[in-house]
Amino acid sequence: MGPLVPDIIGNELNFIVAFLIGIGFGFILEQAGFSTSKKLVGLFYGYDFTVLRVFFTAGITAMIGVLIMDHFHLINMDLVYINPLFLWSAIVGGVIMGIGFVIGGFCPGTSICAAAIGKIDAMYFVLGSAIGVFIFIEGYPLFEGLYLASNFGSPQIFDTLGMSQGLFAFVMVAVAVSAFYFVTKIENKVNKGEKVCVTKSKILLPIGAFALLIGLSAMFIPPHKEHIENIYEKADVETYQFQKMSVDELAARIINGDKTLQLIDVRTVDEFKEFALPNAINADYTRFLNKEWQRVFNTKGKENLIYGNDEKSAVIAALAAKDIGYGNIIILEGGLESFQEDILKFEMPSEVKDKNKFDTYRFRVEAAKALPAIIEASKPKVIVQESKRVLGGC
């Protein structure tokens, strides 16, 4: 379903969304006290950890939310902008920002909010940041080497660390909750008992415990994509009964130019390019979550016939499709191997006793003659183009 942009919310409307979200953003930052540099830098001198509390709570809330939405297929994380990792520019840029933070007392977002309520120092900070950006743009050829060095693509932290997404989320929640506890101790010590955060521990303890519980359960909600990718491990693969179509019926429907049948080829792209059934669409079932496949599977009045080299590969893909909620799925009995063997390369046995079989065999001989031309004529083949990620970042 999500992200709603650009399919459900158009690019123009998205600007209005941006404006509305911005209002919420500015409002919350100001309410949290991020419009005063004294409160912001308190973090670095130990007298006020509001920034850490707000920042960490927001981070884990959104993180757990992303995890849940991903699991329930409410959002397709393949389309969401993931900040890329350029190792050296991230570190050097980050440290420069950190120095700017302790000298200037703001970061770009908070300085804008502070300027909005009349803080003159914040206005100078905004002006300064514009100058900083200008220097970067004008001096870009000088910094380009550092800016583009060590590009690792857009990895996600759980992959980098080699742990599950859920476990990482739990660790973050645990770190956050313990950080909240310790920074309150530090704060009280630095301020000699004068409390910055007045929330009583009677209230905070159950909330902290609840957060940990949520974090703990996060470990058991794998991303939907991972679930789909590992679907072949499910016991159902051996036993699940999908509606099957015989190779003879398929051959007949292809020859008759049946338009109600949509062929989904789950073999590799190379195999597909070399040979495929007429009008088939090549598919990698681990991509079935993507919107494009939603469109393919939900085409009105069509049956979706999934075929692979053998029957089992079709069952795996069909299970993935069923898991996502796609309907009208049929698999090809015996797979493409059987179609090749029993139809395309069929030769009439010298002696046929069963009369029913004889009719089938006669049909197969005819089909073997007619089909190659149809298959040849149906080129070029369809490979579904997938949407690109949203362009994001600062």
Partner 1 sequence: MVLKMEKTKYMNPYLAGFLLGLLLLLTIFITGRGLGASGAVKSFVMSGTEVVAPAHVENSEYYQEYYETHGDNPLKSWLVFEVIGALLGAFLSGLISNRLNLTLEKSPAIKSGTRIAAAMIGGALFGFGSQLGRGCTSGAALSGMAIFSTGGILTMLSIFGGAYLFAYFFRKLWLTK
Instruction: Label residue 317 exposed, middle or buried (CB < 10 Å: 0-12, 13-18, 19+).
Output: buried
84 touches partner 1 (CB under 8 A): yes
Rounded to 5 degrees, φ, ψ at 161 are: -90, -10
148 touches partner 1 (CB under 8 A): no
227 touches partner 1 (CB under 8 A): no
Structure-token match 């953003």, residue found = 25
Among 235, 373, 377, 391, binds partner 1 (CB under 8 A): 391
Rounded to 5 degrees, φ, ψ at 278 are: -55, 135
> What Rg value do the Cα atoms of the chain yield, rounded?
30
Q: Residues binding partner 1: what is the number (CB under 8 A)?
A: 136
183 touches partner 1 (CB under 8 A): no
**Distance of closest approach, residue 289 Cβ to partner 1, in angstroms:** 14
Cα separation, 394 vs 391, whole angstroms? 10
Footprint of partner 1 on 293-312 (CB under 8 A): none
Among 10, 72, 127, 383, binds partner 1 (CB under 8 A): 127
173 touches partner 1 (CB under 8 A): no
Footprint of partner 1 on 346-385 (CB under 8 A): none
Give Cβ neighbours of residue 82 (< 8 Å, ≥ 6 apart). Answer: 154, 156, 389
**Distance of closest approach, residue 141 Cβ to partner 1, in angstroms:** 7
Among 10, 72, 130, 220, binds partner 1 (CB under 8 A): 130
Among 25, 240, 326, 363, binds partner 1 (CB under 8 A): 25
Footprint of partner 1 on 89-118 (CB under 8 A): 89-118
Cβ proximity of 381 and 273 under 8 Å: yes
45 touches partner 1 (CB under 8 A): yes
Among 71, 72, 73, 136, binds partner 1 (CB under 8 A): 136
CB environment 55-92: b (16+ within 10 A), e (fewer): ebbeebeebbebbbbbbebebbbebeeeeebbeebeee
230 touches partner 1 (CB under 8 A): no
Cα separation, 343 vs 250, whole angstroms? 10
186 touches partner 1 (CB under 8 A): no
Q: What is the helix (H) or strand (E) element at residue 263, kind and residue range?
A: strand 261-265
* Closer residue to partner 1 (CB): 112 or 277: 112
**Distance of closest approach, residue 248 Cβ to partner 1, in angstroms:** 46
Among 162, 193, 301, 392, binds partner 1 (CB under 8 A): 392
128 touches partner 1 (CB under 8 A): yes
Cβ proximity of 312 and 237 under 8 Å: yes
- Reduce the DSSP state of residue 280 to 3 states and report it: coil
Sort strands 261-265 and 329-332 into parallel, antiparallel or unpaired: unpaired
* Closer residue to partner 1 (CB): 83 or 230: 83
Cβ proximity of 13 and 4 under 8 Å: no
* Closer residue to partner 1 (CB): 36 or 262: 36
Sort strands 261-265 and 303-307 into parallel, antiparallel or unpaired: parallel
From 3-11, 270-278, 286-294, 358-366, span contacting partner 1 (CB under 8 A): 3-11
Among 72, 140, 220, 358, binds partner 1 (CB under 8 A): 140
